[in-house]
Structure 1
């Protein structure tokens, strides 16, 4: 698969709320994930597929998702960007918010090797 093929597949899965399936299908065992800031109890940079799955599980368990959109992909060589906008309620605060986030993904040997997230603080 080309980088664009992978990007389109990941975007389609995320639009369907199947983010975990995207991770299972397209992420390298040696994935590196970089957040704008560390999530509670985690490092800002997570390494390895199990760490990324754990981070995703934490997010699912700690947020109620009311809806969202995924824009893109926007490709450039071995990388692509997806733009996410989610209507969520963090369970810790109970306050409904809009999460506006951009993800930059790097592909190597047909797998996502790195993901980097950017969002307003």
Structure 2
């Protein structure tokens, strides 16, 4: 599967809210997930391995009461890399409604995502 095919499949699944399915299907077992420096050591910070990435996703979803909007841009692909812009408008437990926007950059090797890195402003 080419980087472009991986990117399009990820976008399709994320637009449907199937984040865990995307990770199970497209990620390498030893993939890494990187957050902005200010968040790297937090409970949803940097992790290594698909199991840890899945757990990070579960923790995030447990903090969500309701998702009002989930938007994912078309991917921009260059060699083994691609990026998408994501926008989630959600009501978070104990925090109220939150508008989250980020740039997500992915690295693909051997038909699998080996790295994801998120760029967003920490408020």
TM-score bracket for this pair, using the shorter chain length: over 0.9
2:79 aligned partner: 77
Match of 1:49 in 2: 50
Q: Compare 58-67 and 20-29 and name the one that shifted more.
A: 58-67
Gaps of 5+ in 2: none
What is the rounded CA distance, in whole Å, between the counterparts of 1:100 and 1:2 in structure 2?
A: 27
Report deviation, 1:92: 2.5
State how many pairs are aligned: 119
Alpha-carbon spacing, 1:39–1:12, altered in 2? closer, same or farther (3 Å): farther
Q: Work out whether 1:11 is the aligned partner of 2:11.
A: yes
TM-score, with length taken from structure 2: 0.91
Deviation at 1:116, TM superposition (A): 0.2
**TM-score of the pair, normalised by structure 1:** 0.93
Q: Which residue of 2 aligns with 1:100?
A: 101
Aligned to 2:32: 32
Quote the offset at 1:90 in angstroms: 1.5
> Does the C-alpha gap of structure 1 residues 97 and 71 become closer, same or farther in structure 2, counting only changes over 3 Å?
same
Residue 72 of structure 1 deviates from its aligned partner by 1.8
Tell me which residue corresponds to 2:93: 91
Q: Alignment RMSD, CA only?
A: 1.3
Q: Distance in 2 between matches of 1:99 and 1:41?
A: 17
Evaluate the alpha carbon distance shift between residue 21 and residue 39 of structure 1 in structure 2; reply closer, same or farther with a 3 A threshold.
Answer: farther
